[in-house]
Amino acid sequence: MLTEYLGWFILIALVLLYTGAVLLFRSRGWIGKEKALSFFGPCLMIKTQRGRNALDRTAKKSVRFWNLLGDAGILLALASMVVMVGLLLWEAVIVLSIPASAAPQPTEALALPGINPFIPIGYGLLALILGVVLHELAHGVLARANDVKVKSLGVLWLVVPIGAFVEQDEEEMMKAPARKRDRIAAAGVMANFVIALVCMLALSAVITTSVHPKADGVAILAVIPGTPADNASMAAGDIITVVNGTSTPNVVDLSQALTGAHPGQVVNVTWYSQAKNGLTYAPIQLGAASSFESGLGANGTKRAFLGVEENIVPPQALASLLQNPFGSASSQAGLGGSGLASTPFLFLALPFVGLEPIQGNTANLFTVSGPLSVLSTGGVWILVNILFWMVWMNVLLGLSNALPAVPLDGGFLLRDALTKVVHTLRSSWSQAQLESAVNRLAIATTLLVFFLILWQFVAPRL
């Protein structure tokens, strides 16, 4: 019971602490529009003017290049916006069938390392900081490339640090043509996807040149004590490659090989043994599932049982996935008919199945060689995990910032798009009427987006 509400307790404590600090700073006059601390909605902006000259130099070196990148960013951000809205609507339907016991916890709503249970604090924090900083610097560079003044740079705080920012001159932004504003707004999304792509290519190169599975087969997560596998000295981290002459590249093939057997039957099993550092072979007499699993009844006495808990993603499939995330899931080596073959987001889903960061028994499934072996085995895995989380976090930042909700980048793109649509439909309206209508639509869209996000956590518990 305590664990169930721990996430709520943490969030409430952080909110109270943040609120108290803000009230204290405000009472002492430390917060104001032109001061080092100011508000951006409910967020606290901590500002500095350092770094503005560097933004100028970077932007003016190649204005045309940055603007072409900004134009591409607009298209990418709009496409991401459509994908994210579609995903939220789809999730709004499927959560109705999720039982309360399986509903996501409040801490999962925040993609913050150390708070979100799926994001490791070390790798996650490094990737988040780099992703947010580069995201905001891209806004600054595009602002200067489009002759919009940058007033300050800094950190955005809402209960916890949620990002960095580059503050453009609001008056100049409003006066700038819509295309220039949109380039600036989309720059951060573009930067995150470019970073993700670069890190993905680097990750692929590392896996290709240095990381190789010790064997092609099904990795063992755990061995049940007293079972035939335990009696044969199988252990967690070993890899089953062949059963009775049939290769077992995935859990489906292994299951089928055992399904054809019966309790008491002796099967020939070949596996990679971590203890022996090589392939080993032994005839193993299978047991009855009912002897080790309660509640199976008569059916359990007829089902052959080896006694291992399998890793659903074989080592060769994991290596293939890290090497080529864009490849067809059905062609990923070793996935076969495991059910994962139809999952287009398997690469991003690795943290949710306990495979990122790669460490411990999972790392032991591979051998490290090639040019990067000078880093040592541990060093290579640190590099692999850093690159993976740079990809993961930047994809998340890019997609989430494309949501059509103010103050996200997608919210500003939506406002300009709504302005064009409303102006076309109501060309006779005054500027004041146009702005009022656009503001109402933008607020309504923002509320809808936040409702859809909140609905994922509330609906299963209703």
Q: What percent of the chain has pLDDT over 70?
A: 90
143 and 234 belong to one structural domain? no
Q: Is the pLDDT of residue 95 over 80?
A: yes
Owner of token pair 């917060």: 31
Give Cα separations from 18 to 25, 37, 39, 161 (angstroms): 11, 14, 13, 11
CA distances from 252 to 117, 228, 268, 312, 450 (A): 29, 20, 18, 9, 40
Which secondary-structure segment (H or E) carries 388?
A: helix 376-401
Q: Is residue 390 part of a domain?
A: no
CA distances for 172 relative to 26, 144, 169, 371, angstroms: 28, 11, 5, 51
Whether residues 163 and 30 share a domain: the answer is: yes
Same domain, 160 and 64: yes
What pLDDT is stored for residue 330 in this prediction?
39
Distance CA 301, CA 48 (A): 72
- Banded model confidence at residue 327, pLDDT cuts 50, 70, 90: low
Task: For residues 30-46, give the mean pLDDT.
Answer: 75
DSSP letter at 276 equals T
Residues 14-41, mean pLDDT to the nearest whole number: 78
pLDDT at 102 over 80: no
Query: For the segment 206-227, what is each residue's pLDDT rounded down to a tens digit?
Result: 999 999 999 999 999 999 999 9
∠ Cα 266 269 270 (to 5°):
160
- Exposure pattern of 24-50 as b/e (b: 16+ CB <10 Å)? eeeeeeebeeeeebbeeeebbbbbeee
User: Quick one: average pLDDT of 139-159?
Assistant: 85
C-alpha of 202 from chain center: 18
Beta-bridged to residue 48, according to DSSP, are 153
Please tell me the predicted confidence (pLDDT) of residue 4: 52
How many other CB atoms sit within 10 Å of the CB of residue 109?
A: 16
Residue that terminates a domain, selected from 276, 310, 344? 310
C-alpha angle 422-428-432 in degrees, rounded to nearest 5: 70
Q: What is the mean pLDDT of the chain?
A: 84
349 domain-assigned: no
pLDDT(334) > 70: no
Q: What is the pTM of this model?
A: 0.81
Asked which of 9-18, 364-373, 408-417 is least confident by mean pLDDT, the reply is 9-18
Are 247 and 194 contained in the same domain? no
Is there a contact between 320 and 333 (Cβ–Cβ < 8 Å)? yes
Read off the pLDDT band of 331 (50, 70, 90).
very low
pLDDT value of position 293: 67
How far are the Cα atoms of 260, 271, 283, 303, 343 from residue 265, in angstroms, in the given order? 10, 18, 10, 11, 36
Residue 316 belongs to a domain: no
Peptide bond into 177 cis (omega under 30): no
**90-99, 110-119, 387-396: the lowest-pLDDT one:** 110-119
Give me the number of domains the chain comprises.
2
Question: pLDDT value at position 294?
Answer: 59
Same-domain check for residues 413 and 302:
no
Q: Judge contact between 412 and 181, C-beta under 8 A.
A: yes
For residue 109, pLDDT over 90 is answered with no
Rounded to an integer, what distance in angstroms lies between the CA atom of residue 413 and that of residue 287?
63
Q: Is residue 263 part of a domain?
A: yes
Same domain, 82 and 170: yes
Specify if 386 maps to a domain: no
Q: Which two tokens stand for residue 67?
A: 């603007």
Tell me whether residue 363 is in a domain. Answer: no
| Any domain includes 149 | yes
293 Cβ partners below 8 Å, 6+ apart?
300, 305
146 and 280 in a single domain? The answer is no
DSSP 175-238: HS-HHHHHHHHHHHHHHHHHHHHHHHHHHHHHHHHHEEESSSSEEEEEE-TTSHHHHTT--TT-
Domain boundary among 310, 325, 348: 310
Q: Mark whether 105 and 15 lie in a shared domain.
A: yes
Ranking 68-82, 89-103, 396-410, 437-451 by mean pLDDT, the lowest is 89-103
Assess if residue 210 is contained within a domain: no
Q: Which tops the pLDDT comparison, 329 or 409?
A: 409
Using CA atoms of 142, 147, 153, 155 in order, give the dihedral in degrees to the nearest 10. -50
Residues 172 and 227 reside in one and the same domain: no
**What is the arithmetic mean of pLDDT over 360-381?**
86
Q: pLDDT confidence of 389, banded at 50, 70, 90?
A: very high
166 & 280 share domain: no
pLDDT for 366 equals 93
Residue 295 is part of a domain; what is its CATH number?
2.30.42.10
Tokens describing residue 190: 């573009």
What is the residue-wise DSSP string for 394-420? Answer: HHHHHHHHTSS-TTSHHHHHHHHHHHH
Do 193 and 162 share a structural domain?
A: yes
Domain range spanning residue 224? 218-310
Helix, strand, coil percent values for the chain (each to nearest 5):
60, 15, 25
Q: Is the pLDDT of residue 161 over 80?
A: no
Show which of 289, 310, 331 is a domain's final residue.
310
Q: Confidence band (pLDDT; 50, 70, 90) for 357? A: confident
Same domain, 285 and 408: no
Q: 279: helix, coil or strand?
A: strand
